[in-house]
Chains A and B, each alone.
Chain A
């Protein structure tokens, strides 16, 4: 760029002005800052046109977003067309430079044809921004020396300042634009959100309403379901529902329990397979098919009984009612089943019981009668007519009945009638004397009741016990004979024992007497020795006498008596008598007799006979025992309920606990020797003392036989016949021998 030579003073002034302008320019950005390009550019144009003598200033600002550039133009006021906007429109001016705009400023021509007047115009292009990215300023002057050095400097500074301002404005604009855009986006978003929110709110409200309805409906349903479930779960009947294909759709707890399946196991399974016995499945399926096809049914709506099948395969009777569930679509059914096993069994038992009762009455010849005491009204059952051999068609009167009562029993019969008037329950035995002179034994058990009108009534059972009586008498006779046999056996066992007991003192007597004689015969006679042996002879004689006394006491009594008996003493006497028998059998006897036991009341001899029997039995039971001591323990002690107990414990062969009840049967015995019958009689004796005789197996070997009798058996009458049996067995030897 050429600097033109000027006048010195003028030059100083010009420079002075230039520096002023420069400062003005440099202050511009502060003024321009914050403004938009549309204001910055005219400001700069004003300043430049004020400072410099320019004919044309053209500014073109490129748009950073690729839109059309913004163009500004300012011309010197001196130009007469400056007022004609049409001529100086920026677009038009811009078109003049269009072909130059893409070039770098250095490549621009220094002058062009004047676009606003005649001739040439010197131009100076200045880039805005380092690479002209912001735009370009073109300054033009008609002066040929344009631009001068100061003009170049000022324009450069102005371009720089404008660039700074425009860049700031751009940034600001960009920022504002971004902000705006952001604001708009946010606003849009917010609007969207608000819209969505509103929509949601509406939806929520609708949904709440729907939910509320739903909940109400569900609640109602649940209540209804709960009620139904409660009923279904708690009813005792099995409830099973099926669909039209026969598949199980519901199975209540009662059904689970009755059939042995869990609900989950059977749901969806075929009813026929699960609950109906194989034999009846086909029938069921046919019935179902028929109903579905024709609506014809033999079961629905009725109560029927049939056989059902449990999970374990067992069959049982059920009562069944089937209803069709009223609903649209294919039919479904509910079955109500009840296990009637128990009812069936009860019915069967009742039937059997009634049959049994009828049969028993017939077999036992038992009849019944009903009597109203006040009116004397009597109703007999057929059996009673049969027993009395009365014609049932004739009227029944007391007089007529009395014609049958055995004359010897008339008195007790009248007593019975008295008792009836008192209204107490009673039992009565009496005899009938029949026209053929045969005798019938009757047993009556009568129960008094009050009719609801307060009248006394009797319900009674009348049994013809003639056969039993006769049998009892025959049995008593047989037992008596058997007792003889038993006694004979016991006697045989005792003979040796008695002989031993007598022989011992006899032996002493003879030996002592012999010694005595020899001592006296000696020379000199041994008088002291003789006296001693004679004394011993007497003692042994007394001992023999005692044995005889005991034997007499044991066997010679004819009648049972009631006396005070010291069981210990009684036991000792029996033990003394049987000691040798026990010794011979190598029995070790231990006596555990409790001191100071109270006495019992009863027949001493009978009780001793029982003790003897137990001792000999125990001894016998150990006869073949060789691997252990033959220990026999006789024990007396207090028993509960004011009883005294005597027990005899052996170490013998014992007995089978299952045979315990049979031990006392007349013919039951574990021994070949046949002593068993003694137990039967022994028990009779103890029972006549209101006591009890029993046997228990020991923990170890052997058995214990024991009896227990009451301390004071008030009113005990020992059965004299039993004593007589025993006594006669001993005293009446020829009879024993005759007994088979």
Chain B
């Protein structure tokens, strides 16, 4: 069941959008990549997404902003935040607001898989 789940990646960094979906597919999930929160919200994949891998700092709508929008819409998609800013202080706040995990780039494949599994179990 989980093996076919759709994992959506939202990150403004192109190299992340290129590399991460391939790894996720290697894990056995379906993957879609979006360059911004707005692009994701406008797509047809919001309802199907079982887990969201979300960059925190993006131009325009940020990761936490998107989290809030989804929450307000009642679309409780499990979220794994990723960030290149090693700011520990952000993690507790994001977790408190319902994020499954918050990963600092660079992270290992196993760390990511663990977070994905945790997210998909949460549903």
Contacts and interface: CB of A to CB of B under 8 A. Distances in A.
Contacts of B23: 511, 514-515, 518
Interface in A515-535: 515, 518-519, 522, 529, 532-533
A586 B84 contact: no
Given A503-B106, A580-B85, A508 B22 contact: no
A504 B108 contact: no
A194 B60 CA distance: 123
A496 B59 CA distance: 17
Nearest to A496: B85
Nearest to A506: B106
Contacts of A500: 57, 84-85
Contact of B108 (A512, A514, A533, A540): A514
B25 to A, nearest CB: 9
Nearest to B13: A504
- Pick the most buried of B23, B57, B59, B106: most chain A CB atoms within 10 A of its CB: B106
Contacts of A504: 13, 15-16, 84, 105
Nearest to A517: B109
Contact of A510 (B60, B84, B108): B108
Given A504-B15, A583-B59, A584-B57, A510 B22 contact: no
B26 A580 contact: no
A87 to B, nearest CB: 173
A507 B107 contact: yes
A371 interface: no
B97 to A, nearest CB: 18
Interface in A475-530: 496, 499-500, 503-512, 514-515, 518-519, 522, 529
A539 B19 CA distance: 12
- Pick the most buried of B12, B23, B87: most chain A CB atoms within 10 A of its CB: B23
B114 to A, nearest CB: 13
A503 B85 CA distance: 8
Given A500-B84, A515-B22, A508 B15 contact: yes
- Pick the most buried of A510, A511, A533, A586: most chain B CB atoms within 10 A of its CB: A511
Given A514-B23, A515-B22, A519-B26, A508 B16 contact: yes
A583 B26 contact: no
| Chain B interface category by residue count | 20 to 34
A615 to B, nearest CB: 15
Contacts of B16: 504, 507-508, 511
A514 B105 contact: no
A540 B86 CA distance: 19
A512 B19 contact: yes
A536 interface: yes
B84 A503 contact: yes
SS class, residues of chain B in contact with chain A: loop
A511 B84 contact: no
B12 to A, nearest CB: 8
Contact of B62 (A532, A539, A543, A586): A586
A543 B15 contact: yes
A511 B109 contact: yes
Contacts of B12: 583
Nearest to A589: B59
Given A536-B19, A588-B59, A507 B84 contact: yes
B109 A518 contact: yes
A679 to B, nearest CB: 26
Nearest to A585: B57
Contact of A505 (B15, B18, B59, B85): B15
Interface in B73-123: 82, 84-87, 104-109, 112
A511 B20 contact: yes
Nearest to A583: B57
Contact of A507 (B22, B59, B62, B105): B105
Contacts of B107: 507, 510
B46 interface: no
A573 to B, nearest CB: 19
Nearest to B109: A514
B109 A507 contact: no
Contacts of A529: 22
Contacts of B20: 511
B57 A506 contact: no
A3 B43 CA distance: 178
A533 B85 contact: no
A384 to B, nearest CB: 65
A379 to B, nearest CB: 73
B66 interface: no
Contacts of A588: 59-60
B35 interface: no
Contacts of A505: 15
A47 B107 CA distance: 187
A515 B19 contact: yes
Contacts of A514: 23, 108-109
B122 to A, nearest CB: 23
A142 B69 CA distance: 179
A500 B108 CA distance: 17
A504 B104 CA distance: 10
Contacts of B109: 510-511, 514-515, 518
Contacts of A507: 13, 15-16, 82, 84, 105-107
A509 B22 CA distance: 13
Given A509-B106, A584-B57, A536 B15 contact: yes
A540 B60 CA distance: 25
A537 to B, nearest CB: 9
A503 B16 CA distance: 11
Nearest to B65: A586
A586 B59 contact: yes
A499 B23 CA distance: 24
Contacts of A519: 26
A504 B59 CA distance: 15
A505 B18 CA distance: 12
Nearest to B61: A586
A522 B58 CA distance: 34
A515 B26 contact: yes
B87 A496 contact: yes
A628 to B, nearest CB: 15
A17 B18 CA distance: 187
Nearest to B110: A514
A98 B13 CA distance: 173
Given A500-B85, A580-B84, A506 B105 contact: yes
A515 B112 CA distance: 12
A532 B19 CA distance: 10
Interface string A528-554: 010011001001100100000000000
A588 B59 CA distance: 7
B19 A533 contact: yes
A102 to B, nearest CB: 155
Given A500-B84, A529-B22, A510 B106 contact: yes
Closest 5 CB pairs of A and B: A507-B105, A514-B109, A508-B15, A503-B84, A507-B106
Interface of A: 496, 499-500, 503-512, 514-515, 518-519, 522, 529, 532-533, 536, 539-540, 543, 580, 583-584, 586, 588
Interface of B: 12-13, 15-16, 18-20, 22-23, 26, 57-60, 62, 82, 84-87, 104-109, 112
30 contacts: A496-B86, A496-B87, A500-B84, A503-B104, A504-B84, A504-B105, A506-B105, A506-B106, A507-B16, A507-B82, A507-B105, A507-B106, A507-B107, A508-B19, A509-B106, A511-B23, A511-B112, A514-B23, A514-B108, A515-B22, A536-B15, A536-B18, A536-B19, A540-B19, A580-B84, A580-B85, A583-B12, A584-B85, A588-B59, A588-B60
Given A504-B105, A511-B16, A584-B57, 14 more contacts: A499-B84, A500-B85, A505-B15, A506-B105, A507-B15, A507-B84, A508-B16, A510-B107, A511-B109, A514-B23, A536-B15, A580-B84, A580-B85, A583-B12
